[in-house]
A and B are shown apart, each in its own frame.
Chain A
Amino acid sequence: AQKITQTQPGMFVQEKEAVTLDCTYDTSDPSYGLFWYKQPSSGEMIFLIYQGSYDQQNATEGRYSLNFQKARKSANLVISASQLGDSAMYFCAMREDAFSSGSARQLTFGSGTQLTVLP
């Protein structure tokens, strides 16, 4: 089974509107972290937001918020007031603390969602 599933290969949003990018995950590890990264065409992965499995509140970072629904194993990214510069590939990723190889704490990524912001 896929550990991280992003079902939206592409999304379009009007400038200044909000958009939700979907992410579901699969793990039996009780301790894990969920991440969202933005990857512009230049290739660099830019960290956006983090949610720990034991965090009681949804994470927020400026215009980014993470809608964490633990029972549904979903960690959707909400971008408010979209800007043209938000056009990029967005990746959801998970770190499983107990099941990581050794103590590597590596990230497992989804296949990404290409977001295009329209003027």
Chain B
Amino acid sequence: DAGVTQSPTHLIKTRGQQVTLRCSPISGHKSVSWYQQVLGQGPQFIFQYYEKEERGRGNFPDRFSARQFPNYSSELNVNALLLGDSALYLCASRDGGHFSYEQYFGPGTRLTVT
């Protein structure tokens, strides 16, 4: 079975531009979470979606937005990019059941803002 997939793998953008990152969860998983990992730090929670609804949002500005589609894939959008947005963006999926605890992470999208 395919794991969590993310695209693109790498991305270079200029300050002020907008970017869209994509994530496909493991088949059957209804919950998708997004994390930002700045170099040298642990990942930080950005969003979680379950059944196409936002279930949680971390401490990120409104420039960050996301959505989940009927097939449970997800997009993370970042507007007006800043140099500080340069990071590895990780997507994680979970089946969403009450007793499920394990989050499966994708390989990430490495975003560089110049």
Main secondary structure of the interface of B (DSSP, over half): strand
Contact with A along B80-95 (1 / 0, CB 8 A): 0000000010101010
In this assembly, does B73 line the interface, its C-beta being within 8 Å of a C-beta of chain A?
no
Residues on A with beta carbons closer than 8 Å to the beta carbon of B72: none
**Min distance, Cβ B76 to any Cβ of chain A, angstroms:** 14
The number of residues on chain A lying at the interface, defined by a beta carbon within 8 Å of a beta carbon of chain B, is 28
Contact yes or no, B90 A45, CB < 8 A: yes
In this assembly, does A56 line the interface, its C-beta being within 8 Å of a C-beta of chain B?
no
Q: Which parts of A11-63 form the interface with B (CB within 8 Å)?
A: 33, 35, 37, 42-47, 50, 52
Residues on A with beta carbons closer than 8 Å to the beta carbon of B43: 45, 91, 107, 109
**Min distance, Cβ A117 to any Cβ of chain B, angstroms:** 21
Q: Which of A68-76, A78-86, A95-103 contacts B (4 or more CB under 8 A)?
A: A95-103
Which residue in chain B gives the minimum CB-CB distance to A91? Answer: B42
Contact yes or no, B41 A111, CB < 8 A: yes
Q: Which of B15-23, B61-69, B106-114 contacts A (4 or more CB under 8 A)?
A: B106-114
**Min distance, Cβ B9 to any Cβ of chain A, angstroms:** 9
Residues on A with beta carbons closer than 8 Å to the beta carbon of B28: none
CA–CA, A33 to B101, complex, Å?
8
Enumerate 9 A-B pairs (CB-CB under 8 Å) in ascending A order. Answer: A43-B90, A91-B43, A101-B55, A102-B55, A104-B45, A105-B48, A106-B58, A109-B43, A109-B44
Q: Hey, which bits of chain A sit against chain B, CB under 8 A? A: 4, 33, 35, 37, 42-47, 50, 52, 91, 93, 95, 100-112
Closest 10 CB pairs of A and B: A104-B56, A109-B42, A101-B56, A45-B105, A106-B45, A104-B48, A43-B108, A44-B107, A104-B55, A102-B56
